[in-house]
Amino acid sequence: MNLNLPYLYYYLIFSCGLLALALLFIPRSQIQRLFWMGMLCGSGVDFGFEYIYSLLNLTRYQHIEPFNIGMLSIWTVLAWTPTVMLFIYFLPKRKEPYIQWLYLIIWTVATSFVGILLSQLGLMVFVKAGPWLWLIVGFIFYYLIAKFYRYLEDKRDNL
């Protein structure tokens, strides 16, 4: 798939599109509360994972200059902040396990599709891994974020 746009535009559309979705769906009063969780658990953790993927030669980003942090694109790392903000904001409040698992699976599959799309656009190459890497790690990632956020919310409610 090639839309004949400069590669920088793909990165910008991806990051700014996610930011626009977060600003569109999350109320202004909630953005400040969710921002630091998104920055820490989204961009911070993604930077670590993606850097490890690059060191192990599992994935490689292409066409990332001049907005790169070593081997990573700043735009894909920053895109995880609004992604985690959206994930947490829409996290189901209901306690039924099937709703929780379905929600995790939907976000995990969506994340894998993003990996496939980035690969098809020529922005990322799966060297020794495939989209299944993002599927497995994404599921664990979202599960741990949900647990961590619920822990923080329970702790805040008990104060």
- Answer whether residue 148 is part of any domain: yes
Per-residue pLDDT tens over the stretch 26-46: 999 999 989 999 999 999 999
Q: How many residues does the chain have?
A: 159
Q: Closest Cα partner for 88 from 135, 47, 49, 36?
A: 36
* Domain interval for residue 15: 7-158
* Residue of 85, 90, 8 whose CA lies nearest to 43: 85
Number of domains forming the structure of the chain: 1
Main-chain dihedrals φ then ψ at residue 126, nearest 5 degrees: -85, 105
Query: How sure is the predictor about 155, in pLDDT bands with cuts at 50, 70 and 90?
Result: confident
With a CB cutoff of 8 Å and minimum separation 6, the contacts of 47 are 69, 72, 77
Give tens-digit pLDDT for 91-108.
998 878 999 999 999 999
Residue 132 lies in a domain: yes
